[in-house]
Structure 1
Amino acid sequence: MLDDQRYDILIIGGGVNGTGIARDAAGRGLRVALIEAGDLGSGTSSASTKLVHGGLRYLEFYDFALVAKALAEREVILDAAPHISWPQAFVLPHATGLRPAWMIRAGLFLYDHLAKRRQVPGSSAIDLHRDAAGRTLDRSLTRAFRYWDGWIDDSRLVVLNAVDAAARGALIRTRTRAVAGTRLADDWAVELDSGEKLRANHLINAAGPWAEVVTRDLLGLANPLQLRLVQGAHIVIRRINRSDDAFMLQQPDGRIVFMLPYEQDYSLIGTTDTPVDRPDAPAITAAEEAYLLDAVNRYLAKPIAAADIVHRFAGIRPLVLEEGKDAKETTRDWRLVAHDDATLTVVGGKITTYRKLAEAVLKLVAPKSKPWTRGVPLPGGDVPKRRGQTGQAAFADWLRELVARHPDHDPTLVTRLARIHGRRAETLLSAPLGENFGGLFEAELRVFAEQEWARTGEDVLWRRTKMGLHLDAGDRDRVDAWMSAFTKR
């Protein structure tokens, strides 16, 4: 039972910010509890464009500090989580009438030099009629720039932070709702929907787009911040990228839209900035779908249509309201709001800088403790390294050896397991994988259910993996039935 259990820190919200704080705090020896109303990362943190990036477009708004901070963290994440992240090339076509070439070159020069680079190359100009990337684009486009950022499996990032936090002693409770909070003389008492009560010296509200609701309705506190809730929608189509490049496509309204290689066989297109009033049940609108189709069709050699879309998703980003700025101008940096010496609300932030956000939070609530997460791999990322070797290079060496050690398995399967589980795939491959659910195996389902808090087919098919794109309806139903039976045991 949780009754009368006392914690140093109670975190509400199991997205990337909440799990990142939980991991950091638990590693400092603090007693930590994290409460998430749904599945880990089931809100904003699983509905991103899945980039580890500095934010090239933020340079236009002179947000140099945020870009430099994010670029430095890009290196940290690529090194610590090489199984779920990798360097990604982006092609930025030069389109007449939009940002001039000199401005793009200047921005890319800054982007290359604002932070040290070990795992991504620098930028370059390319001729689209000679480069393989140009075969995807309309022949009227002749010039482009190639630069590098990173890609990451956002849902896996959340889950692995929670796994590590739990391994270091944190309590992780999913599908558990905090229903009442009472500020006592020295701490907080929080009641859960199970009737249990927790006591904590510090309460951290990391509920993302629900942060304002939690502050006002659950904690009964005045909220000095107004949030701008913005929906970011994405569509997935069969892969049209003719190379391994992603594309950064400028739009006449000043925004940019990304088109990325996704899950080997697909292309991911996003995102939008649509103001919304409520954070619940985000869903792509017809206007957003049309916007994304128009955005890429301005550039493609072969236009796409709504009939080509195989999957859609949307998430709500909580931005700090800044008067006089629209959504694309509003900062993506975080804001920490200290309501009193025991209560903190976290709003905003980017996936790329989640680890630095956690350090900032711990500096406030546990100032005598020491940071430790930089350079420490996430679960599965602890592949053998030679001295001076980057995480990405070490993972590539380890993966080649893993494939060679398991000649009886399809290399594609070994690679998929390695990309999801990292070094923990060695354990899976050392024993029978069990029943085959169309390419997803029973041994994996057990790991997700027993070690990663998965409870439904959706948890597995769209967050622990993206196998929902690859399995047919019958196999998806079989996964859902297996998970349902497991949770009833």
Structure 2
Amino acid sequence: MTFVAKGGECPFMEIEYDLLIVGGGINGAAIARDAAGRGARVMLVEQDDLAAHTSSASTKLIHGGLRYLEQYEFRLVAKALAERERLMRAAPHLIRPLEFVLPHDRGMRPVWMMRIGLFLYDHLGGRSSLPRSRAIRLDTDGYGSAIQSKYTQGYRYADCWGDDSRLVVANVQDAAEHGATVMTRTRCLSAQRHREGWTLSLQCADGTTKSVTARILVNATGSWAADFLPQRAGIPGAGTLRLIKGSHIVTRKLFDGEHAYILQNPDKRIVFAIPYEDEFTLIGTTDVEWQGAPDAVAIDATETDYLCESVNRWFTTQIAPRDVLWSFAGVRPLYDDATTNASEISRDYVLSLDHADGAAPVMSIFGGKITTHRALAEEVMDKLARHLPGLQSAWTGKAPLPGGDLGERGLAGLVADVQRVAGFLDEQTVRRLAQSYGSRVFAFLGTAKTMGDLGQSFGAGLTQAEVDYLLGNEWAQTADDILWRRSKLGLHMRAEEVEALKAYLADHARVEAKAAE
């Protein structure tokens, strides 16, 4: 059974689901994919848009976490590095190698520590397709043009860039194509536990409420995970969270080249400076305790100053808060391990399965990082397998995500194919479409021979054909869904272009509502 909710639709679901997953971030999406592919009857419920919160507010990296080695998180780093390799194969359009330059200041970390850390990083994850790290001369190797001349030594290593929000969508697409029911803009109002299962009250986008039954409840609500069971089910929570705000700023491009920089700071934290959307540099992140509502998070002036100072400490081009073109912030829901320093809290995940006294099981997910989402989901389903007789075995380790079946020619081959089929598109749009949709780009390019064949043009290469595809296949409904999560075109579009898109979406919604009457 596959259902893609549009507008205010909320059908009455009469079947009993094996799993009802609350939370449409990366962990909920990955669990839905894994479970549906094993043959489970799955419903995924998300109160907002997919990846609306933490999962679209990352630093856009798929990495092991070099700095976690200082906290002796060897197991986490090894797991993340191994997953990085799997994800590169599963989604080569969404996850791509990225070279990092680490300028060195002897006053921050000694050479021996840097060399040992990079050696471990090269080897902990097993065999890697990425190049090994090496020492470089910033003044002669071509990497130091952006760096102040007093810094002459550094290191180069490889990691990956990743499109966080599109990775969530790809997981949900795969879940739906394996039979999962996906409900966005749907709130879980209450969950009643019985010995044989759960009864949940859902409030749909149109305001109606429906009752759904499931054998197992999965609490993948991210920043709300500690409060979900006490507030919605009236049972004790399974753990506590530390909410850590991470903020980023985006400026005009600060350096040439396709590489990124990882910048050390006197407080032992690091800040990334990453090429972003061709014309910009993404700078982040911070680590600040957050006490407010998880969906009301925003960067503050102190964080902006901190990120600017981090760049100014190393770069020849100096920046100030007035140079920030856009910023975003998200809350990392980290399992509370009583660590005092927010930067040192483990990024590993904790799984809590409660089926006390023979009651229906509930699985709660605490913490985690986007790189390890597939492994987390596989472990969740392995733990739940004994409660779901007949469940098939693990399968996601070698399976491509939707759009990721690019073959030996890879992304470069796909770009060439798109250029050949749609030669009327500019080079930047061709590359964006290939990187966003992978092999599925032809689902809306079709047989178009001109821009006019793709319908209304909204600007920055966004056309009616692409928008309609997002509405019909990727659960998008609003301009923000399209411009900031399904793409990053919000950085490129003028205000009047955004208004034209909003007007089109409003017309589309009216037509859909009338057709549903």
What is the TM-score with the length of structure 2 in the denominator?
Answer: 0.91
Residue 255 of structure 1 pairs with residue 269 of structure 2? yes
| Alignment match, 2:502 | 480
| Alignment match, 2:468 | 446
Residue 402 of structure 1 pairs with residue 418 of structure 2? yes
The counterpart of 2:325, out of the listed 310, 318, 321, is: 310
| Alignment match, 1:377 | 400
Contact 2:229 2:235 (C-alpha < 8 Å) held by counterparts:
yes
Q: Give deviations 1:233-270, integer Å, cap 9, x for gaps.
A: 00000111222111111111111111100111110001
Deviation at 1:412, TM superposition (A): 2.3
* Unaligned stretches of 5+ residues in structure 1: 386-392
Q: Look up the SS of the partner of 1:88 in the other structure.
A: strand
Contact 1:455 1:484 (C-alpha < 8 Å) held by counterparts:
no
CA distance in 1, matches of 2:128, 2:226: 39
Contact 1:9 1:30 (C-alpha < 8 Å) held by counterparts:
yes
The counterpart of 2:150, out of the listed 134, 140, 144, is: 140
Contact 2:53 2:295 (C-alpha < 8 Å) held by counterparts:
no
Contact 2:192 2:198 (C-alpha < 8 Å) held by counterparts:
yes
Contact 1:334 1:349 (C-alpha < 8 Å) held by counterparts:
yes
Q: Look up the SS of the partner of 1:346 in the other structure.
A: strand
| Alignment match, 1:389 | none
Contact 2:34 2:395 (C-alpha < 8 Å) held by counterparts:
yes
| Alignment match, 1:388 | none
The counterpart of 1:281, out of the listed 296, 300, 315, is: 296
Deviation at 1:325, TM superposition (A): 3.6
Deviation at 1:116, TM superposition (A): 3.2
Identity %: 46
Contact 1:75 1:118 (C-alpha < 8 Å) held by counterparts:
yes
CA distance in 2, matches of 1:376, 1:324: 37
Deviation at 1:481, TM superposition (A): 1.9
CA distance in 2, matches of 1:483, 1:17: 29
Q: Give deviations 1:109-143, integer Å, cap 9, x for gaps.
A: 11111123443111111111113321111111100
Aligned residue runs from structure 1 range 238-387, under 5 A? 238-278=252-292, 279-340=294-355, 342-367=361-386, 369-385=392-408
Q: Look up the SS of the partner of 1:49 in the other structure.
A: coil
Contact 2:95 2:162 (C-alpha < 8 Å) held by counterparts:
yes
| Alignment match, 1:22 | 32
CA distance in 1, matches of 2:212, 2:181: 11
Q: Look up the SS of the partner of 2:145 in the other structure.
A: helix
Deviation at 1:307, TM superposition (A): 1.3
Deviation at 1:296, TM superposition (A): 1.1
Q: Which moved more, 1:218-227 or 1:148-157?
A: 218-227
Q: Which amino acid aligns with 1:384?
A: G
Deviation at 1:15, TM superposition (A): 0.2
Contact 1:132 1:243 (C-alpha < 8 Å) held by counterparts:
no
CA distance in 2, matches of 1:13, 1:345: 11
CA distance in 1, matches of 2:422, 2:494: 27
Q: Give deviations 1:303-344, integer Å, cap 9, x for gaps.
A: 101111110100000011112442111111100112225111
CA distance in 2, matches of 1:77, 1:487: 35
Q: Which moved more, 1:477-486 or 1:249-258?
A: 477-486
CA distance in 2, matches of 1:58, 1:261: 23
Contact 2:339 2:345 (C-alpha < 8 Å) held by counterparts:
no
Deviation at 1:479, TM superposition (A): 1.4
Contact 2:21 2:219 (C-alpha < 8 Å) held by counterparts:
yes
* Unaligned stretches of 5+ residues in structure 2: 1-10, 513-517
The counterpart of 1:461, out of the listed 475, 478, 483, is: 483
| Alignment match, 1:5 | 15
Q: Look up the SS of the partner of 2:201 in the other structure.
A: strand
Residue 98 of structure 1 pairs with residue 108 of structure 2? yes
Count of residue pairs the alignment pairs up: 482
Q: Which amino acid aligns with 1:345?
A: S
Q: Which moved more, 1:218-227 or 1:403-412?
A: 403-412
Contact 1:11 1:203 (C-alpha < 8 Å) held by counterparts:
yes
Q: Which moved more, 1:93-102 or 1:320-329?
A: 320-329
| Alignment match, 2:515 | none
- Structure 1 pair 3/116, CA: closer, same or farther in 2 (3 Å)? closer
Q: Look up the SS of the partner of 2:329 in the other structure.
A: strand
Contact 2:414 2:438 (C-alpha < 8 Å) held by counterparts:
no
Q: Look up the SS of the partner of 1:21 in the other structure.
A: helix
The counterpart of 1:428, out of the listed 432, 439, 444, is: 444
Q: Look up the SS of the partner of 1:130 in the other structure.
A: coil
Deviation at 1:369, TM superposition (A): 3.0
Aligned residue runs from structure 1 range 59-138, under 5 A? 59-138=69-148
Q: Look up the SS of the partner of 1:318 in the other structure.
A: strand
Residue 236 of structure 1 pairs with residue 250 of structure 2? yes
Deviation at 1:482, TM superposition (A): 1.5
Q: Which amino acid aligns with 1:421?
A: Y
Deviation at 1:403, TM superposition (A): 2.0
Deviation at 1:3, TM superposition (A): 4.3
Q: Which amino acid aligns with 2:370?
A: I
Q: Which moved more, 1:23-32 or 1:273-282?
A: 273-282
The counterpart of 1:183, out of the listed 187, 193, 198, is: 193
Return structure 1 stretches of 4+ with deviation > 4 angstroms: none
| Alignment match, 1:208 | 222
Q: Which amino acid aligns with 2:113?
A: M
Q: Which amino acid aligns with 2:274?
A: L
CA distance in 1, matches of 2:194, 2:128: 49
Q: Which moved more, 1:108-117 or 1:453-462?
A: 108-117
CA distance in 1, matches of 2:354, 2:503: 45
